Structure 1
């Protein structure tokens, strides 16, 4: 058995030259990062700031005697406001009061009830007025 080993030699001068390296500018690598930051700002940061400002406005305008709901779902009436330590006394039942932070107030229920009640009354009044007109005919 005669085995021969063959070696292939390639001419390096005839090989295709590699393309020249692309010079990376520092600004082109920053563009994607800037775009990602802009997207995060408009989709995450800005809405959260707006929500936080609305909550601060709601909490700062709370008054004694208003019915509120806390973040934990407790409903009660504000009996005392203490601005020095940013707390309120919340009456949740007869002779039962708890001390909660103002920031734990999620909604002022007594304010949100008023527009709905007047709207419902107007709709009911309009329906009853139209039914009275139909009966007269």
Structure 2
């Protein structure tokens, strides 16, 4: 093997390692935390859907979630349609 070939192979390995640590690994961490959040959902949790709808979980099963919105409407979603749990709002008293 010539030094050019060794340099090229070393550069390719370095690029793959950088790609893994900068793109693949963080994406896997986000997916794992999303799956954990979906597994921990329970009745009464305040959530935000992928479409930006705020609601409270009324019923939940393996594949779907029924939420109640602020207007009182009941919506049934695929469980994966939940983007995140809503953070508790802190009201500041003047």
TM-score relative to the length of structure 1: 0.58
Q: How many residues align structurally? A: 91
Within the alignment, does 1:63 sit opposite 2:42 as a pair?
yes
Q: Distance in 2 between matches of 1:102 and 1:34?
A: 39
Which segments of 5 or more consecutive residues in structure 2 lack a partner in the other structure?
A: none
**Residue in 1 aligned with 2:85?**
108
Shift of 1:74: 0.4
TM superposition outliers: structure 1 runs of 4+ over 4 Å? none
The structure whose Rg is larger is 1
Give the alignment of 1:54-133 within 5 angstroms.
54-83=33-62, 86-92=63-69, 93-94=71-72, 96-109=73-86, 112-113=87-88, 117=90
RMSD: 2.2
Give the alignment of 1:14-93 within 5 angstroms.
24=2, 28=6, 29-83=8-62, 86-92=63-69, 93=71
Higher share of residues assigned strand: 2
Higher share of residues assigned helix: 1
TM-score relative to the length of structure 2: 0.82
Structure number with greater CO (CA < 8 Å, separation at least 6) is 2
Shift of 1:79: 0.9
